[in-house]
Amino acid sequence: MRKFLLLALAAVMAFGTGCQLLANIEEKTLIDGSSATGTGGAGGGTGRGGASGGDASVGVDASGNADARGGVDVGGGADSRGDGDARGAETGDGRLAPDASMDGSSDRSVADQVETGGQSDAPRDDVGRPDAPTGTVPTGGECTADKDCVTAAPHCVDGVCCTSTCEGSCVQCNQPNLKGTCTSIAADQPAPSGRAPCPTEAQSTCGRTGKCDGGGSCAYWPKGTVCAPGSCDPVTNTEKGEAQCNAGACVTPAAISCAPRKCDAAMRACAAGCGNDTDCVGAPCVGGSCGKVGDGIACAADAQCISGYCADGVCCDAACTGACEYCKFADPGFGKCTAVAQGQPFAPRSPCVGATTTCGGACSAASRMTCTFPTATTVCITESCSDATGTQTSAAGCNGAGSCATPTTSSCGLYACNGTVCGASCAADAQCRGGFCNTGVCRTTKPDGRTCAADAECTNGFCADGVCCNARCDGQCQSCNLSPTLAGTCSTVPSGPPTGGRAPCTTDGVCGGACGGLPNACTYGTGVCGSVTCNTTTNMRSVPTCSGGHCVTTPTLCPNGYACNPSGTDCSTTCTGDVQCQAQAPACVRGKCFGCNQSTATPGNWANWPMPNTPGRGPNTERHTLCPDNQTVRDNVTGLVWQASVDTSATGRMTWQTAKTYCAGLTLAGGGWRLPSRIELVSILDITQPSSVPQIDYVNFQNTPDEPFWTSSPVAGAATTAWSVYFQSTGPQAGRVISTDITGVLRVRCVR
């Protein structure tokens, strides 16, 4: 029917020469199944097309032009002016039906000009949509696409599954308590975020206000809104009150005679009173008044009016005291008490109860004396179910007095919600709330210590070792059923193998482990698990040792430079000849193996070191060995390895702190150097040397300058001095140990 009507209107527009039929049709006007006729004036006088009470008709005169007052009338008639500017359908009180306006000058097709809730998109066709709903999200549930939703609410709108496409600026499907149902935005509120905003037009145009009308569409300036000032003509002594919005047009009321008063042109109205008889027409001025005036003239009291009624600031043809009456409409004219068929009462009348809510009252054609309120058929709270509270809330309708009826609530017990209602059976634990599913029935969870087969059966959510447990209890050496008294309590197995099917301790048959106080792992021994051997070729000693349940052998080099004993059963611990020493410490001296690449000195054993030779014996060359690298000297007595040659340039002299840093960073022959202590440096001092050479074994310690050298030993109680050893051949300091300021610069020989 809708498509047929659009095609018919298009045909009339094409047929009429120089004239246009401009119709504004909302889809909702045809929902009740009424048909649109082609005759004008149905249900009204000349110039008022459209049936009342919900019928929709289009008025067309005999010439094919749009009737001057024809158009769509929804419950009260609509104006479509004959000049081709059809501003839309009048709803109830004559106001323009929101979102049903068309500009008569537009070249768009009639179908394109039909607006739905502020949008011009064609109605959505759900047939054959690729994203047809196949989901499980119930009505009002959160969604991201249509396919998420159940067939009862197949549209994902405003982030929830909705029962309709819910298109338009002033509707929403996710309003609190009404999620899933397309609901109108309250009157005088802007379009919600994500919707096309309502146009905002100046009051003087009587266009749209930028707000919603409470009926799902964008609101127009309501009937009675002043759109232009009034005027008063002194020549004809007539007043035209201020123009008012009506059906989207700014309407000027008919002229009214001011008699017995005169015009006050400056005030744009009839004079309020008089000063003398010349201020009156055909009547004397008595007490500041020319006498009673007719309907439509301004008044302040009933006694000023011929009718005896002063209402809404003008003399009225009736008392006009109904909540939904008004006596100052430009149409049908000031002074005529008219029913307000839409919106709220005019001041000073009070607004209807709950005016901005779903159940709030409003004026309607049903009554001009009282507000009309939505009844129980208007849903104000939709049915819902909450797993958080385990409660199902019934749908509720309006109570007919401006409020929403109180919904009933019921407990879901152990069942989870099934959409908007409580579940009644189960096939899985997820369909139970605070319990578990057993043979289609949700059952109460069990306390710790009770037998179980799954986590969902337990209050704490843990089923371990066949009983409900106070913890997950999945450590290798844990058990929740260690003994009857400990059933339900996660405990550490004190000894023996793991229990309850947990992974056994690792073992290779020789070494193994067992639970021994650690909750998450077995305890393993580290003892010897085989015979010690020594490889006489590599001098690597092997000791089989238990590690992590395995008998493992990690070869290590014999310590202190010793080789394997002849039988290969272990390392030697002393030597009587070089053959019992490794290549890196090839010399057997006094039962110890010495080498250039490692120090064999025993820390703290300096008291047993032989000191410098006695006078007259000559160089002590047998005590020191110049290593094959010609860079290091091995002391065969102390086991220390020394830097053979030192830096004799000017940069070779340095402060105490710099000397320590220098030795620590020396990479000579593999590194590991340090500044020697006082006793260590004294151990290579040789006072038997002739006065012509430094007091040191000058054969092996090559290129030694005749100067003092730093030690690492600070002077006790003197933070700024350290000990130095003088290797001078002559003079009072020769061969002496002297305290020296640490900022001084001396020579350096490093040791390891």
DSSP output for 18-65: S--------GGGGTT-PPPPS-S-TTSSTT--S-STT-----B-TTSS
- pLDDT on residue 602: 61
Q: What is the mean pLDDT of residues 545-556?
A: 93
Top pLDDT among 736 and 111 is at 736
Residue 381's pLDDT is 92
123, part of any domain: no
Q: Can you give the pLDDT at residue 442?
A: 92
With respect to residue 497, please indicate whether it lies within any of the assigned structural domains.
yes
Q: Is residue 508 part of a domain?
A: yes
Q: If DSSP codes are grouped into helix, strand and coil, which group holds residue 191? A: coil
With beta carbons less than 8 A apart as the criterion, state whether 562 and 551 touch: no
Domain count, the chain: 5
Same domain membership, residue 471 and residue 396 = no
698 and 644 belong to one structural domain: yes
My answer on whether 34 and 76 are in the same domain is yes
Is residue 679 one of the residues assigned to a domain? yes
Domain co-membership, 688 together with 714: yes
Tell me the CA distances in angstroms from 435 to 416, 422, 461, 471, 665, one per residue in order. 10, 15, 10, 18, 71
Question: What does the pLDDT read at residue 572?
Answer: 93
For the segment 321-340, the average pLDDT, to the nearest whole number, is 95
Q: How confident is the model at residue 604 (pLDDT cuts 50, 70, 90)?
A: low
Query: 63 and 92, same structural domain?
Result: yes
Same domain as 610, residue 735: yes
**Reported pTM:** 0.45
Phi, psi angle pair for 662, to nearest 5°:
-60, -45
470 lies in some domain: yes
Residues 623, 701 within the same domain: yes
Residue finishing a domain among 397, 431, 465: 431
User: In this structure, are 631 and 707 located in the same domain?
Assistant: yes
Q: Encode pLDDT of 392-433 as tens digits.
A: 999 999 999 999 999 999 999 999 999 889 999 999 988 998
β-partners of residue 172 are 183
> Nearest-CA neighbor of 624 among 603, 591, 602, 596?
596
Stretch among 197-211, 492-506, 695-709 having the lowest mean pLDDT? 695-709
For 465-514, the pLDDT digits (tens) are 999 999 999 999 999 999 999 999 999 999 999 999 999 999 998 999 99
| 631 DSSP assignment | S
Count Cβ atoms below 10 Å from residue 94 Cβ, excluding itself: 26
Final residue in a domain of this structure, among 561, 594, 627: 594
Token pair 């909540």: residue: 323
284: alpha, beta or left? (left if phi > 0; alpha if psi -120 to 50): beta
Residue 623, CA distances (Å) to 123, 288, 749 in order: 110, 145, 18
pLDDT of 363 over the 50 cut: yes
Tell whether the model's pLDDT for residue 295 goes beyond 90. yes
Mean pLDDT, range 145-150, rounded to an integer: 93
Q: Is the dihedral of CA 140, 145, 148, 150 positive or negative?
A: positive
How many other CB atoms are there within 10 angstroms of residue 721's CB atom?
A: 18
Question: Which token pair is 594?
Answer: 């010495």
Residue pair 262/270 in contact (Cβ under 8 Å)? The answer is: yes
Beta strands in 590-631 (DSSP E): 592-594, 624-626
- CA-CA distance, 358 to 216, in Å (whole number)? 12
Q: Are residues 399 and 515 in the same domain?
A: no
* 347 lies in some domain: no
Cα separation, 683 vs 676, in Å, equals: 10
Task: Categorize the per-residue pLDDT at 660 as very low, low, confident or very high, splitting at 50, 70 and 90.
Answer: very high
Q: Is the pLDDT of residue 327 over 50?
A: yes
Give the up-direction half-sphere exposure of residue 527: CA atoms within 13 A in the CB hemisphere: 6
Shared domain for 541 and 501, answered yes or no, is no
Helix (H, G, I), strand (E, B) or coil at 303: helix
171-175, 605-609, 638-642, 696-700: segment of lowest average pLDDT? 605-609
Q: Is residue 701 part of a domain?
A: yes
Is 246 within a domain?
A: no
560 falls in which pLDDT band (50, 70, 90)?
A: confident
Between 94 and 427, residue with greater pLDDT: 427
Residues 31 and 79 in one domain: yes
- Which residue type, as a one-letter code, is found at position 157? V
* Residue 88: predicted pLDDT: 36
Give me the pLDDT at residue 34, please: 34
Query: According to the model, what pLDDT value does residue 609 have?
Result: 62
Mean pLDDT calculated for residue range 81-100: 36
Q: Please, how many CA atoms are within 13 Å of residue 317, restricted to the half-sphere of its CB?
A: 9
In the block, tokens 């060995």 appear at: 625
Neighbouring C-beta atoms of residue 501, cutoff 10 Å? 7
- Residue 701 pLDDT level (bands cut at 50, 70, 90): confident
pLDDT of 622: 63
What pLDDT, on the 0 to 100 scale, is given for residue 36? Answer: 34
| Most confident residue range from 6-15, 626-635, 682-691, 719-728 | 719-728
pLDDT of 114 > 80? The answer is no
How large is the greatest C-alpha to C-alpha distance in the chain, in angstroms? 163
The least confident of 46-50, 120-124, 156-160, 230-234 is 46-50
Domain that holds residue 658: 606-741
* Percent of the chain topping pLDDT 90: 57
| 423 within 8 A of 384, measured Cβ to Cβ | no
437 phi and psi, to 5 degrees? -95, 130
Q: DSSP letter for 567, please.
A: T
Domain boundary among 477, 502, 521: 521
Do both 516 and 535 map to the same domain?
A: no
